[in-house]
Amino acid sequence: MSEILIRQAALLGGPKSDLAIKDGMFVDPVDLDPSARGTQLIDGEGLVALPGLVDLHTHLRQPGMEQAETVLSGSQAAAAGGFTAVFAMANTQPVADSVGVTDMVHRLGQEAGYVDVRPIGAVSKGLAGEELAGIAGMAGGTAKVRVFSDDGHCVSDSLLMRRALEYVGTFGGVIAQHAQDPRLTEDAQINEGALSSRLGLAGWPAVAEEAIIARDILLAEYTGSRLHLCHLSTKGSVDIVREAKAKGARITAEVTPHHLLLTEELTASFNPLYKVNPPLRQDDDVQALREAVADGTIDIVATDHAPHPSESKECAFDEGAFGMLGLEVALSVVQKALIEPGHLDWSGVARVLSQTPAHIGGLAGYDNPLTVGAPAHLTLVDPAALKDVQMRYTRSGNNPYGHLQLPGEVRHTFFRGVHTLADGRIVPADELPGVAK
């Protein structure tokens, strides 16, 4: 494996320093000879060095929906966005509710070689919410699944949720809940309020999310197990989580890039690109979510990258699929929504987009980022660049940011010391040196 020396990058946005990589690990720069044959030199001037990003909430669509995304295309999109690990949700076809499917997704990720693909197992068989899935088998398989979720569906049955929490508590797993009361959101299309009434679209009330969050916090406290709350979208959800954490609840929560930036006003265009679950909310919700990331009430940012084929979005709004792309642009959205207003610095970005999601997911190698002896998971971003918001590597086109100009551009990504994104371009698969294959 070649040796790599990165000159004068700003580590976590702080002082400039050299970084050296050898055999997949960070080493002391004085141990590399920059004039030696084979040593790759990268000018880090103007770039911020971050630990490789980790996404706890990705939809890779394989198996079953390869026209929208594959593990390979999703891995390339992730690397283009600065990610070195993604957790793939279970709502594939067949559903990832057995060790056979989760181990296959893990293997496809290893074969792709761009990021560490960690499968998420379903909580219930077929995501039907009626019977627990083969949790023990998935946890004991090659993929060693630690995160379980019916995302796309809420585990609405209280007893099933209790049993799931009790089960994963025996081996340190975590249940990631998609908080959506199904009865309160029947036929819902957008946020419930004056706009939904004006447009004549069925409204999606905030209480549908908040009621499930409140219930599940109580269940997590009762069982003593770990609960992770997916894609918070309302000010009321933030208030509930903040109060529970103040009382010592063992919970974590995430927010998506799109809920940090976009508002319900976009849905007035009737463009299904802006149709997402949970729906885009109002500006005061957006501001509450940003402040919650800043004060630690919300632990992480996760993309909920949800690719869809064109026919699922080029249709009437009420017939369109829920979901937006996110992997390739997440860091730019975070820069605009959290760094530019002063909610976070780059060190905070490393916390919410790398270290904490890795910790929640039980992913090793992210505890001491950018230090000698640590795995060389590295993202180099140019914060002064303007982002081309075209999605270049995913198979889908449901990009909600095409009308915006965003800051920042990921220039380089290294996964275990392997250059996966070089000067803003994905390294072709046949040029990767067989990472983890």
Q: What is the DSSP letter of 399?
A: -
Q: How many CB atoms lie within 10 A of CB 142?
A: 12
Q: pLDDT (tens digit, 0 to 9) for every residue of the chain, 437 residues total?
A: 579 999 999 999 999 999 999 999 999 999 998 888 889 999 999 999 999 999 999 999 999 999 999 999 999 999 999 999 999 999 999 999 999 999 999 999 999 999 999 999 999 999 999 999 999 999 999 999 999 999 999 999 999 999 999 999 999 999 999 999 999 999 999 999 999 999 999 999 999 999 999 999 999 999 999 999 999 999 999 999 999 999 999 899 999 999 999 999 999 999 999 999 999 999 999 999 999 999 999 999 999 999 999 999 999 999 999 999 999 999 999 999 999 999 999 999 999 999 999 999 999 999 899 999 999 999 999 999 997 788 999 999 999 998 899 999 999 999 999 999 999 999 999 999 864 44
In one-letter notation, the amino acid at residue 116 is: D
In one-letter notation, the amino acid at residue 254 is: E
Annotated binding residue 277: yes
The residue behind tokens 């960070």 is 26
Residue 413: in which H helix or E strand, if any?
strand 406-415
* Rounded-to-10 torsion of CA 12, 14, 18, 19: -10
- Residue 283 falls in the annotated catalytic set: no
Start-to-end Cα distance in the chain: 15
Annotated binding residue 57: yes
Is the overall model pTM greater than 0.75, yes or no? yes
Write down the pLDDT at residue 434: 62
* Secondary structure (DSSP) of 146-174: -EE--TTS----HHHHHHHHHHHHTTT-E
Before 278, cis peptide (omega within 30)? yes
Domains in the chain with CATH codes: 3-48+372-431 (2.30.40.10), 52-361 (3.20.20.140)
Q: Which residues contact 128 (CB under 8 A, 6 or more apart)?
A: none
In one-letter notation, the amino acid at residue 266 is: L
* Secondary structure (DSSP) of 120-142: PBPSBGGG-SSSB--HHHHHHST
Q: How far apart are CA 218 and CA 230, in angstroms?
A: 16
Q: Which of the following is catalytic: 304, 367, 423, 430?
A: 304
Annotated binding residue 399: no
Q: How far apart are CA 40 and CA 36, in angstroms?
A: 9
Write down the pLDDT at residue 436: 45
Annotated binding residue 416: no
Write down the pLDDT at residue 366: 94
Q: Which residues contact 364 (CB under 8 A, 6 or more apart)?
A: 358
Annotated binding residue 91: yes
Write down the pLDDT at residue 1: 55
Closest CA to 233 of 201, 272, 188: 188
The residue behind tokens 């406290």 is 221
Annotated binding residue 359: no
Annotated binding residue 404: no
Residue 5: in which H helix or E strand, if any?
strand 4-11
